[in-house]
Amino acid sequence: MSERRPPICEFDLLAYADDRLEPGRRVEVDDYLATDPAAAARVAAFRRQTEALHRLYDPVLEEPVPERLSSLLERPRRRVFVPLLRLAAVIVLTIGAGSAGWWLRGQGDGSRLAAEAFLDRAGRAAVHPGAGFPHARVVDLSDGPVEAPDLRSHGYRLATISRTDDKAPLIRLDYEGSHGAISLFMGVLPRERTAPKAFGQGGGGLWWVDGPYVYALAGADPNLGALAEAVRRQTVLSATEPFPPLATTVDAGNRTGSVKPDSVPDPGGVELLPDLSTGQL
Amino acid sequence: MDDLKWLIAREIPHLRRYARALTRDAEEADDLVQDSLERALRKRHLWQRRGTLRGWLFRMLYHVHLNRRRGESRRPTEPSADGVAAGSAPPAQESYLECLRVADALDRLPASQRDAILLVSLEGMPYDEAAWILDIPIGTLRSRLSRGRDALRRSISARPKPTLLRRVK
């Protein structure tokens, strides 16, 4: 039998059953459970409880939302609160115009699928430029507390703002600069498809997922990493939860930690965006 | 629909699921969600973007739930399958019965333990967020989960196994 490592407590078993343990501890609990059938049985029972609850209640998720609930959110409001508009600015997805393909490479799980679906929509959606854009204030640098990511210090100026008419917000910002243009899309991933934190790069672009929000950056600029970091720093202010420094190990679960990036040649910012394309998300 | 409303709208199925599990009554669950949404819309300017929007909505729902529970007589102690995923056919009858036993055992737990277990196990809330939603210290949450899940386990294994249980291959 293997020697016992630091004592496994009640809460370790609980967190183990709930898949909330960090990987190192999980391995220790694995070892412990191998030596303690009673504890293993308890953990298995906890997991069966969770499965049973899901089997009982998950069908609720598939039910159509009753009209009396959905109508609450469709009732027109006279004015939209600025802090709420700010939320829209969080939802940032930057990709090079028409170059969604890079995004689709290199990731291997639900996060990628979500991204694919999203970008598929981004690619197909009709985008209406300029005037009439209901979120202009959100991203209009001249008017309001909510700024579009300001990339002027990197030589990029915001050129146009546009959005789709879809009920799911999809906002696009085009920047123009010395290395050409980059386009910025803002969107939210479907609830079930989101990853807590994820990063990736490839095909000349960088992307990251923060809860329901997707961020990505692509373009011909060699300093793409620095641009992405600038976008990230500015959007994180209104993010729904603190975003850990990208340079540090991604917490929790089975994701890999910080991985040396390889393909984006900017030393200033790119190391802050680890390439997790080889890792599980 | 502005974007916050859109974000709230996409949480409705999850709010409904938690409410359904809390109340085990489809109608009552939707009443609870409706009250919570109305409250959330009234107070949405208070949404501080600390924590997740989802956590904020769940916290609101739980608060409303507590108020309603206080104001009402206890729900019937005789558990039934009525509130469980009404309208959807159970995929496999025998394992579904087993699931109902979990639901019934859950119903016999103290409410504070049941609420915590549903939040973490069913809704997958992180411990810290669940503690915030229930407005309790995280240590309290952990011990409620631990005690509750052990009691559930004992309660289920203490009862005779239903003959319809799926056979082990």
Predicted confidence band at A215 (pLDDT cuts at 50, 70, 90)?
Answer: low
For the segment B50-72, the average pLDDT, to the nearest whole number, is 86
B1-75 and B92-162: identical CATH topology: no
User: Are the beta carbons of A65 and B16 separated by less than 8 Å?
Assistant: yes
Considering the domain B92-162 in this protein, what is its CATH number? 1.10.10.10
Given a cut of 50, whether residue B80 has pLDDT beyond it is: no
Question: Out of A20, A69, A211, whose CB is closest to B52?
Answer: A211
Per-residue pLDDT at A106: 36
Flag the least confident range among A117-126, A177-186, B140-149: A117-126
pLDDT, greater one: B55 or A93: B55
Flag the least confident range among A48-62, A69-83, A222-236: A69-83
Run of H or E including A89: helix A82-90
pLDDT, greater one: A116 or A59: A59
Round to whole Å and give the CA distance between A213 and A240: 9
In 3D, which of A14, A212, A182, A208 has the Cα closest to residue A99?
A182
Round to whole Å and give the CA distance between A123 and A129: 15
Which chain A residues touch B140 with a CB distance below 8 Å? none
Mean per-residue pLDDT over chain B, rounded: 81
Overall fold of domain B1-75: Rna Polymerase Sigma Factor; Chain: A (1.10.1740)
In the 8-state DSSP scheme, what is residue A261? -
Which chain B residues touch A188 with a CB distance below 8 Å? 6-7, 10
Nearest-Cα distance to chain B for A216, in Å, is: 20
Given a cut of 80, whether residue A89 has pLDDT beyond it is: no
Residue A52 near chain B (CB below 8 Å): yes
User: Are the beta carbons of A69 and B12 separated by less than 8 Å?
Assistant: yes
Given a cut of 70, whether residue B89 has pLDDT beyond it is: no
Which chain B residues touch A83 with a CB distance below 8 Å? 45, 47, 49
Rg over alpha carbons for chain A, rounded to the nearest Å, is 22
Residues present in chain B in total: 169
Distance between alpha carbon A226 and the CA centroid of its chain, in Å?
18
User: Are the beta carbons of B4 and A84 separated by less than 8 Å?
Assistant: yes
ipTM: 0.84
pLDDT, greater one: A75 or A175: A175
Nearest-Cα distance to chain B for A129, in Å, is: 19
Question: Out of A48, A72, A212, whose CB is closest to B38?
Answer: A72
Which chain A residues touch B36 with a CB distance below 8 Å? none
Given a cut of 50, whether residue A140 has pLDDT beyond it is: no
Per-residue pLDDT at B51: 67
Three-class DSSP labels, chain B: CCHHHHHHHCCHHHHHHHHHHHHCCHHHHHHHHHHHHHHHHHCHHHCCCCCCHHHHHHHHHHHHHHHHHHHCCCCCCCCCCCCCCCCCCCCCHHHHHHHHHHHHHHHCCCHHHHHHHHHHHHCCCCHHHHHHHHCCCHHHHHHHHHHHHHHHHHHHHHCCCCCCCCCCC
Residue A80 has a CB neighbour count (10 Å cut-off) of 17
Interface test with B, best of A9, A42, A55 (most B CBs within 10 A): A55
Mean per-residue pLDDT over chain A, rounded: 59
Token pair listed for A269: 């910012």
Where are the domains positioned within chain B?
Answer: 1-75, 92-162
Round to whole Å and give the CA distance between B145 and B142: 5
For the segment B62-85, the average pLDDT, to the nearest whole number, is 66
Given a cut of 50, whether residue A13 has pLDDT beyond it is: yes
